[in-house]
Amino acid sequence: MRTNWGAAFQIAAVYVGTVVGAGFATGREIVEFFSRFGFVGLIGILMSGYLLIFMGSKLMRIAAQIGASSYEQFNEYLFGEKIGRIINFIMLFMLLGVCAVMLSGAGAVFQEQLGISKNIGILITIGLSILVMILGIKGLFAVNSFVVPMMIVFSFILFYLSVKLPGFIDQALFIPASEEGWKSVVAPFTYTAFNLSLAQAVLVPVAAEVKDDQTVKWGGILGGIALTLILLMGHFTLIMLPGLESYEIPMATIMKSLASGLYWIFILVIYGEIFTSVIGNIFGLERQIKKYVNMPSIMIVIGIFIICYLVSQFDYSTLLSYLYPLFGNISLIFIVLLWMKPFKPNRGYNSKK
């Protein structure tokens, strides 16, 4: 059948917008999984890119085939009903951890880039989030349609400026000495596993709604290719920053030195990405917890924010460097089972229409 390229590009955009979160916007996620390993990290990005293309496409094709309306249904199909429920419960804690990392990241933007107390930044973010949730969030998610393209444009600008710097080739080929070299081997797998397992919440219902196999397939492929290119641009920018591991928000530091005229716009884009990530995670958590606890939504949201606030007191870079690889390791079983799951479009599926 013919591919609906318009729908395929829309799926690709959703895929990119879901995976390119606040961890990418700040640069810390790319540093943690790839850039600190130098040239080995570049190889890791290419491996991760292949997995994002292949596994992301397969995830959505299976979701469309089985008509899963939520990632809970998808996990129960992938793992079996009993184990699937356990995995869904684990994902609840992963989302809680990611939300705490995002709040800490918001505080880091205020502290490192604006010179304002981290706690004030976190409390402002919590206050704005609760306000938006009371008033309604329809307009908020439209922010992503502006924030993500802007962030990609800024990434391209920084990449272009970094390539022109003296010593770029030497830095791109450099392999730093590291006692944690083994982590560079598993990083492509943990990075992909972590991002895809959390992206399910968005990708599964989107794919199930489209239903057409070729369209979903190419949406996954195009989205995976775009993510690979974005990762490469981010990596080639970050390796030109001396002591890149010492910064909470390395991308903003680079923007300040290479394109200071765009610095404040970039800070707003980073904060916008963090803010929309916090709101998205809170809504996902509230819906999940509501299934187990019979409480008013606002009480659940306040409870989530209290827990996340306490965890967010740790440094953003410390939280991200500990929790994200941990969640990646936990998610490895998800990616392995997804890899092993056979996929054959059946006759009732829209692959032949």
159-201: per-residue pLDDT in tens?
999 999 898 898 888 888 777 777 888 889 999 998 888 888 7
Q: How confident is the model at residue 1 (pLDDT cuts 50, 70, 90)?
A: low
Helices (H), 293-348: 297-311, 316-340
Q: Rounded distance, CA 248 to CA 334, Å?
A: 30
Q: Cα–Cα distance between 237 and 171 in angstroms, integer? A: 11
Task: Assign 7 a pLDDT band (cuts: 50, 70, 90).
Answer: confident
Band of residue 152 on the pLDDT scale cut at 50, 70, 90: confident
Rounded to an integer, what distance in angstroms lies between the CA atom of residue 71 and that of residue 267?
A: 32
Averaged confidence pLDDT in the chain = 85
pLDDT at 139: 56
Query: Could you give the 3-state DSSP secondary structure of residue 270?
Result: helix
3-state secondary structure 79-93: HCHHHHHHHHHHHHH
| Residue 130: band (very low, low, confident or very high) from pLDDT cuts 50, 70, 90 | confident
Q: Residues 62, 341: contact at Cβ < 8 Å?
A: yes
Task: Provide the pLDDT for residue 340.
Answer: 85
pLDDT score, position 138: 61
As a whole number, mean pLDDT of residues 88-113 equals: 88
Q: Can you tell me the distance from the alpha carbon of 303 to that of 271, in angstroms, rounded to the nearest whole number?
A: 23
In this predicted structure, the answer to whether residue 347 has a pLDDT above a threshold of 50 is: no
Rounded to whole angstroms, how far apart are CA atoms 79 and 83?
Answer: 6
Q: Between these two residues, 282 and 122, which has the higher pLDDT value? A: 122
* pLDDT classification of 346: cutoffs 50, 70, 90: low
Helix, strand, coil distribution of the chain in percent, nearest 5: 85, 0, 15
Mean pLDDT over 307-321 rounds to 89
Residue 309 has pLDDT above 60, yes or no: yes
Structure tokens at 43: 């190889």
Percent of the chain with pLDDT over 70: 94
pLDDT for the residue numbered 231: 92
Reported as a pLDDT band with limits 50, 70 and 90, residue 140 is low
Long-range CB contacts (within 8 A, 24+) of 259-262: 259/157, 259/158, 259/161, 262/154, 262/157
